[in-house]
């Protein structure tokens, strides 16, 4: 242990607690008028501004509930910023439906579910059932079978897209292993 004349702050391990000093610890109070809670949640004062308010958790939640990220931007700037934000996190959105379990348990994306619905299949359908359903339905609306039918051409494109979505998803699952 420490000698009587020596400070307890010497060496390692530190012999006293970190907040055990006699000096007062500086605590920033919440910037909300009248609040005496600890203000440890920074919030921007204005969009794209380095200045910050410091609120307690309760007032930070209240402040953020009314926060408009796109305030002061015109329609084109809003669209550009939203597109940039989505591009940055697109990999998270693509990966969110992956799971440890198999199909039919919520591991399919919304696009895959729409594709399965278009093909008339259940959520737990395997790739063989997808191929079979695609071939059966494609034979009915193929442009070679119905050459001058615009609706049939649209239906064939939708079926082809649905098949591609499901095929790509199956390849990702197989690759992932």
Mean pLDDT, residues 5-33: 67
Q: Are 63 and 55 in contact (CB under 8 A)?
A: yes
- Give the pLDDT confidence score for residue 62 in this predicted structure: 85
pLDDT digits (tens, 9 = 90+) for 26-55: 788 898 888 899 888 888 887 677 888 888
Residue 176: pLDDT band (50, 70, 90) is low
Query: What is the topology classification, in CATH, of domain 100-176?
Result: Helix Hairpins (1.10.287)
- Average pLDDT over the chain reads 79
Sequence-ordered list of residues with C-beta below 8 angstroms from that of 117, at least 6 positions apart, any chain: none
Sequence-ordered list of residues with C-beta below 8 angstroms from that of 24, at least 6 positions apart, any chain: none
- Give the pLDDT confidence score for residue 105 in this predicted structure: 52
- Give the pLDDT confidence score for residue 133 in this predicted structure: 95
pTM beyond cutoff 0.75: no
pLDDT digits (tens, 9 = 90+) for 74-124: 889 888 888 887 777 666 555 555 544 444 455 778 888 899 999 999 888
- Taking the domains of the chain in order of start, what are their residue ranges? 25-88, 100-176
Q: Which structure tokens are listed for 142?
A: 């193929």
């Amino acid at each position: 242990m420490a000698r009587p004349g020596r400070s307890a702050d010497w060496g390692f391990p530190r012999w006293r607690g970190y907040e055990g000093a006699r000096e007062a610890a500086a605590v920033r109070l919440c910037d909300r008028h009248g609040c005496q809670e600890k203000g440890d949640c920074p919030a921007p004062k204005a969009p794209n501004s380095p200045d910050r308010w410091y609120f307690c958790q309760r007032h930070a939640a209240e402040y953020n509930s009314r926060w408009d990220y796109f305030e002061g931007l015109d329609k084109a700037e809003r669209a550009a910023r939203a597109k940039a934000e989505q591009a940055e996190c697109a990999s998270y959105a693509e990966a969110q439906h992956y799971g440890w379990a198999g199909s039919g348990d919520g591991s399919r994306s919304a696009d895959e579910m729409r594709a399965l619905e278009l093909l008339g299949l259940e959520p737990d359908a395997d790739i063989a059932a997808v191929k079979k359903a695609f071939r059966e339905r494609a034979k009915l609306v193929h442009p070679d079978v119905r050459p001058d039918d615009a609706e049939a051409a649209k239906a064939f494109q939708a079926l082809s897209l649905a098949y591609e979505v499901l095929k790509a998803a199956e390849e990702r699952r197989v690759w992932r292993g």
